[in-house]
Structure 1
């Protein structure tokens, strides 16, 4: 009686020094060094940084975030981790020899435009599955890879394919190479229709429709006016989703709305 008997047990020892926290700490430290940061936000960032005591201070490589799938215990981290990844990816030069970070903020607008349009199309298309960056093959033997930006599926079958282009239309037309690319995607997926989604400026000549010779494929080009409030941009993308879903839409659009007309 009174003798303590050791009881075997198994446990996990948790530490704050994990990859997610190292990424967040690195992003906070980077943000505090921004030159024109107001005293209020510098103070807020330093308060947050103090919460990461015990986390290794290192310049974290954010490239792994693109393929990261949060576990159930990490889901509340997701928006913070992806924002931290953007901060770190935009404040260093990735194509370089050496390890010295550069203080700037750069965004790949091609990627940002593509992801924004894709996400908003997903939100605006409840009856269609909008797949981002699917991998497929151009040829029957599977030797040539293709990677369209967006493929639309209905009842498990592809119904449309689209590519986003963060560049301006030229007198209502896209670049020839963009049309070749869209034609290849439509042909490989067995579709009669492909979409090219461009940026445009106010007053830009309406985009048009190209019907390919000796082919059933029609390539539709549309322009999104980016010089408008975000709510109006979302309205343009909703209109585009309706066009792709074959819902009736006018071929002419007022200023600040989606442009996509027959040529």
Structure 2
């Protein structure tokens, strides 16, 4: 077996790979992959913003395992995930992954512990609205559907009713995340054994349809409070890139998570919490923002802070890594300028991970607009990270004003 170790956004390395494996890596965009012109059979690999592990198998060749380590410690990565999921529970101990050095084992362990706590008082039950064709009348008869589908026949009967039991969306999500992890390699044996036990308790919940693009929605309430940390982690598990590929020659199996999304979710939620102390309200992925007067060009800033009278007071965008596409080198600044112009604000705020973006303030000529670039050091302790976020929030409040 060949094992390749890469670092997130690290230097490119050249490794000997079967051409089929190299081409699959390049096509799947797991990493940047291209043949090395100076080394026959060599492929230059460079990791981007996805971290985790995948295994590739080609006929006639030994398996290749590719591991991509995050820039920040795994425990800190899971603090970011945990805080974005539920700011009320943001201690490292809630996810308890400090002893794990790889992403997937840590994620599986953290989810299993959250799931065990969620199920400790029993499997949650609730009402689920159901529409079906049944042999007996139950609940309300759907008369229009009965006529349209059965053309005057008495049975089956199209009915709608509320069913009380464990087949509710919360349990469906937990079951789906459990089964996703059980299907992946590198989940520790002890964690895998406990996940199988939890899955047995959730079997009355229907499995989610494979290949769905958007996760089913659930609503946080007092009734599912003990489930919420596990549900947030379940969404993280299900939104990760589960690599399953087979083209007849090369099979790919593994799991990757996007550090860009983790960082951006953390920054937005943490800023929202910090700004709450200053009044007003914060909108994440703000709607109703348009670039033009005809409202034909919609924009979705990561966070807009509104005053007590509903007027926009500040805008922020989280960028894990500075965006510099060829021919458009300062895309982030142009985007923030558009946000400030459309919202009528004199200040805009870009938040980067330190090392991937600079700290600076830019005054835009003839516009009266300042764009602030903040750099967040992710290797700091949770308390220091939240203190830095609070400082950014204060600068947003202090600079709030119209252009």
State the TM-score, normalized to the length of structure 2: 0.50
The answer to whether the 8 A contact 1:169-1:200 is kept is: no
Mark the CA change 1:96 to 1:77 in structure 2 (over 3 Å): closer, same or farther: farther
User: Helix, strand or coil: the match of 1:88?
Assistant: helix
Pair 1:64-2:215 in alignment: yes
Q: CA deviation at 1:124?
A: 1.6
Matches within 5 A, 1:93-108: 93=243, 103-108=253-258
Q: CA deviation at 1:31?
A: 1.9
Q: CA deviation at 1:21?
A: 2.4
The answer to whether the 8 A contact 1:199-1:225 is kept is: yes
Aligned partners of 1:49 and 1:208: how far apart in 2? 50
Pair 1:24-2:178 in alignment: no
Q: CA deviation at 1:82?
A: 2.6
Q: CA deviation at 1:230?
A: 2.5
Matches within 5 A, 1:105-184: 105-125=255-275, 126-128=277-279, 129-135=281-287, 136-155=289-308, 156-168=310-322, 176-184=330-338
Q: CA deviation at 1:106?
A: 2.0
The answer to whether the 8 A contact 1:32-1:45 is kept is: yes
Aligned partners of 2:241 and 2:349: how far apart in 1? 34
Matches within 5 A, 1:216-227: 216-227=368-379
How many pairs align? 230
Pair 1:207-2:356 in alignment: no
The answer to whether the 8 A contact 2:314-2:348 is kept is: yes
Between stretches 74-83 and 145-154, larger displacement belongs to 74-83
User: Helix, strand or coil: the match of 2:206?
Assistant: coil
Q: Which structure is higher in RCO with an 8 Å CA cutoff and minimum separation 6?
A: 2
Aligned partners of 2:379 and 2:191: how far apart in 1? 28
Q: CA deviation at 1:194?
A: 0.7
Q: CA deviation at 1:190?
A: 0.7
The answer to whether the 8 A contact 2:323-2:330 is kept is: no
Pair 1:246-2:398 in alignment: yes
State the TM-score, normalized to the length of structure 1: 0.74
Mark the CA change 1:20 to 1:149 in structure 2 (over 3 Å): closer, same or farther: same
Greater per-residue strand proportion: 2
Aligned partners of 2:192 and 2:167: how far apart in 1? 24
Q: CA deviation at 1:55?
A: 3.0
Equivalent of 1:48 in 191, 198, 208: 198
User: Helix, strand or coil: the match of 1:36?
Assistant: coil
The answer to whether the 8 A contact 1:90-1:104 is kept is: no
Aligned partners of 1:88 and 1:185: how far apart in 2? 31
List gaps (5 residues or longer) in structure 1: 1-8, 248-263
Aligned partners of 2:357 and 2:171: how far apart in 1? 49
| Aligned equivalent of 1:82 | 232
Aligned partners of 1:17 and 1:195: how far apart in 2? 44
Q: CA deviation at 1:169?
A: 9.1
User: Helix, strand or coil: the match of 2:283?
Assistant: strand
| Aligned equivalent of 2:187 | 37
List gaps (5 residues or longer) in structure 2: 1-137, 140-160
User: Helix, strand or coil: the match of 1:220?
Assistant: strand
The answer to whether the 8 A contact 1:138-1:188 is kept is: yes
